[in-house]
A and B are shown apart, each in its own frame.
Chain A
Amino acid sequence: MQEFLVQNIAPIMFGCMVLMLAIGYPVAFTLAAHGLIFGVIGLSLDLLSPSIYLSLPDRIFSVMSNETLLAIPFFTFMGLILERSGMAEELLETIGQLFGSVRGGLAYAVIFVGALLAATTGVVAASVISMSLISIPIMMRYGYSHRIAAGVVAASGTLAQILPPSLVLIVMADQLGKSVGDMYAGAMWPSLGLVGLYALFIACVSIIWPASVPAIPPEHRVRFDFKGYVRAGLTLIPPLLLIFLVLGTIFIGLATPTEGGAMGAMGAVVMATMRKRLSMSLLNQAMHATAKLTCFVIFILIGARVFSLTLYAVDGHLWVEHLLTGLPGGRISFLVFVNFLIFFLAFFLDFFELAFIVVPLLVPVANALDIDLVWFGVMISLNLQTSFMHPPFGFSLFFLRSAAPKELRTTDIYYGAIPFILLQLLMVAILLFAPEIASTGRTAGELLKPSAVDDVMNSLSQ
């Protein structure tokens, strides 16, 4: 019995995690407690020494001092101000109205806005939370199927992780030893392809199940005359200004991507004030909700850090490593196997664990098979996107759950996510057989001949 435990501690840990989370105590604390419980089990089996846990404060500290995570409060705050002040609704409403008689119009608007938001942030939590605050209520009001509404929001929000800029691609570039710029360039077309697939899916749904994505009912439709278009144009100005503040300030070299989020948040505050939509109570609500959502997101991260500390301490990563030994040899069969493996592991591990445990193990094999690492990395990143969407433990689904109104049932979120996971897998398959989609176009050839390089080197080493 003891022997069996020692040999299989990692899979047992994964299995128990699923069971414990299903009990229904808050995810953050369950993850942490699960890590500590298995720490005690590991101690009694002599698998680890208690001194490992002296690093707990430091693990929390490294989450605190990770400035990239500042994007979470910034984008959440922006989303809340836009939502509470009614500006977001106006935007979606206007775009929805422009599509007025088109079935699925609002869903297209959500995908479009989601892609725009994804182009401004690399942090999934930020974009899923702000997207669900903005768009779920309005879709429900116009009679959308709850499942479609939940799925399209979770999926469009998750685009943040694959559409540059992206935390996932940055970590992946680091793990693969490729430049971030190459990864961004490589991910550009596949992620736009994904946006296209989402839209195509909505188009199919609107033909097959028209009732689930209704057009705006005629009595709510705005007739667009010249003035109407002008008014529509005017409602588009604030969001366009915001996009400039977030993306434009990064582009002109004013703000770092993290600061771009803050520019957007402050821009939203200023705009809401100018349009007299910002009351003291609204500001208070928005700050309170931002602090609360930030707290819950970061505590999940902290819980996961406690869990992974134990996982490493009992050599759980070695178990994953052993899974990978005896990989099939051929190029395509290797890639297919890897994608299935990652898809499977994504049920249990979150993106960071996958990126840090699994990817480094795959790189030497991929290198040996002469696989382009940028292509490979983009493919894995696309696949990892499913890890945010897996019911019942995908992080995007947690974020959506926390920000969506109570009338949206959790099962709707789970069922709604499934078609989009399949679409993501479809994109992985497309990329597998059409690698040129991920070509970077950045492989600047060598400009100088070896003799010219010699001259430069010689003149430098005087």
Chain B
Amino acid sequence: MNFLFKLSRSIDAMNLRIGVCVKWLVLVMAALSAGNALLRKLFDIGSNALLETQWYMFAAVFLLYAGLTLCEQGHVRVDLFYRKYSEKQKCVLDILGALLCILPLSGLVIYLGFDVFWTAFADGEMSSNSGGLLIWPARLLVPLGFILLALQAASEIIKNVAKLKTLLSAAPQAKA
């Protein structure tokens, strides 16, 4: 169990650290996009590579943030019933959700996405736009993002199981 706690803590820390770097892309891509508009208008400078870099960064932001967003409960729920659940019920729901919703999806996307990345990498596939970028970095982001998501889901399971255990062991004592 101790090992699992350690694992969960290091996953959380890793996603946090990745987030600390990735969030700067928000500022960078806004600056790039605004700068691109100015350069194009004022100096007739511009390229499709600059345009494509923007969406590469956008993709990096939301995919590489997937783990951290899950960790910080950033995904919205329909809380019609959810807010009435007890702490125990919430734990059970989050364990089942991570097991049944996130892990199968992530597994599928990682497996298939890596294959797609590999083809693009091996072929040296380029964007078909004039002066466009290599495709594989963008393709790689898909499995990478879902790996981070799947790891975080595992961490959430560990944390919720632990919480459930304490809740369950606390309950009879409270009665007594």
Contact = CB atoms under 8 A, between A and B. Distances in A.
- Chain A directly contacts chain B within the complex, with at least one CB pair under 8 Å: yes
Interface of A: 21-30, 32-33, 36, 53-54, 56-58, 60-61, 64-67, 69-70, 73-74, 77, 249, 253-256, 258-259, 261-263, 265-266, 269, 283-284, 287-288, 290-296, 298-300, 306, 392-393, 398-399, 401-402, 410
B83 interface: yes
Closest 9 CB pairs of A and B: A24-B82, A26-B75, A262-B33, A33-B101, A64-B59, A25-B97, A29-B101, A255-B37, A287-B23
A244 to B, nearest CB: 13
A52 to B, nearest CB: 12
Question: Which of B23, B38, B96, B101 has its CB near the most chain A CB atoms (within 10 A)?
Answer: B101
B80 A22 contact: yes
Given A36-B108, A288-B23, 14 more contacts: A25-B77, A56-B109, A57-B109, A61-B139, A70-B55, A254-B41, A261-B33, A262-B34, A291-B22, A292-B69, A294-B65, A299-B69, A392-B78, A402-B74
B101 A77 contact: no
Q: Is the interface of A mostly helix, strand, loop or mixed?
A: helix
B79 A410 contact: yes
Given A27-B76, A70-B33, A58 B58 contact: no
Interface of B: 19, 22-27, 29-34, 36-38, 41, 51, 54-55, 58-59, 61-63, 65-66, 68-69, 72, 74-83, 85, 93-94, 96-97, 100-102, 104-105, 108-109, 112-113, 115-116, 138-139, 141-143
B33 A33 contact: no
A266 B35 CA distance: 9
Given A56-B109, A56-B112, A57-B112, A291 B97 contact: no
B142 A23 contact: no
Nearest to B75: A26
Given A288-B23, A296-B69, A410-B80, A64 B100 contact: no
25 contacts: A21-B78, A24-B78, A24-B85, A27-B75, A29-B101, A56-B109, A56-B113, A60-B142, A65-B55, A67-B54, A67-B58, A69-B58, A73-B30, A77-B26, A249-B37, A253-B41, A254-B38, A262-B32, A265-B34, A290-B26, A294-B58, A294-B61, A295-B61, A392-B80, A401-B76
